[in-house]
Amino acid sequence: MSTTSISRRYARALFELQAEGVAISAALNSAADVVAVPEVAAVLDQPKYPATVKAGIIDKAAGGLSKEVSRLVAMLCERGKAGLLPEIRDLFEEMVRQASSEIEAEVVSATALSKATQDKIAAQLSKTTGRTVVIKTSQDKSILGGLVVRLGDRQIDNSLRTRLEGLKRAMVS
């Protein structure tokens, strides 16, 4: 069984708890951030430490966890799967976004985008998809200009590099 399917089960259970009114997000973020630290991950991988010690390390480093997330951390530590917390958090957040009809779009540009430009892109993508779009930006100077937008499993490549490559292929043919 893949780790994603295991993580999805835990994320689904947390999502259902949150739907019942239990605050999950902040504590889950804290625990996942702690586990993502390489030094903590190295300790969690050591079989010489009992699960209770590992869970205690995560709880203390996270500044105290809610009882629901604390139980999850303890169970994952007992099963040697505490390293799944960042993946569980990501899947949980995706479920929350989907439930609120929100979708994330990754926008790659050659230069930094202003807030106004990001808002315009988000508004256009929202109009196209019918959902609220949250923009996550990154930079890649190799695209030369334009944008590459990844929205779910779709990619819209409107970069200058791609246009020039297409023109080059057209001229060679």
What distance in Å separates the CA atoms of residue 38 and residue 123, rounded to the nearest whole number?
38
Kindly list the structural domains of the chain, giving each domain's residue range(s) and its CATH number in brackets, ordered by start: 3-96 (1.10.520.20), 101-172 (no CATH)
Q: Kindly state the average pLDDT of the residues 31-60.
A: 87
For residue 78 the two structure tokens come to: 């007992």
What distance in Å separates the CA atoms of residue 14 and residue 18, rounded to the nearest whole number?
6
How many Cβ atoms are within 10 Å of 156's Cβ, its own excluded? 14
- Residue 2: the pLDDT is 65
Q: What is the pLDDT of residues 144-159, one digit of tens each?
A: 889 999 987 788 888 8
The CA distances from residue 65 to 27, 40, 99, 130, 163, in Å, are 5, 16, 24, 36, 50
Residue 1: pLDDT band with limits 50, 70, 90: low
Residue 107: pLDDT band with limits 50, 70, 90: very high
- Which phi and psi (to 5°) does residue 116 adopt? -65, -40
The structure's pTM equals 0.59
Using the structure block, give the residue that is written with the tokens 């430009």.
Answer: 117
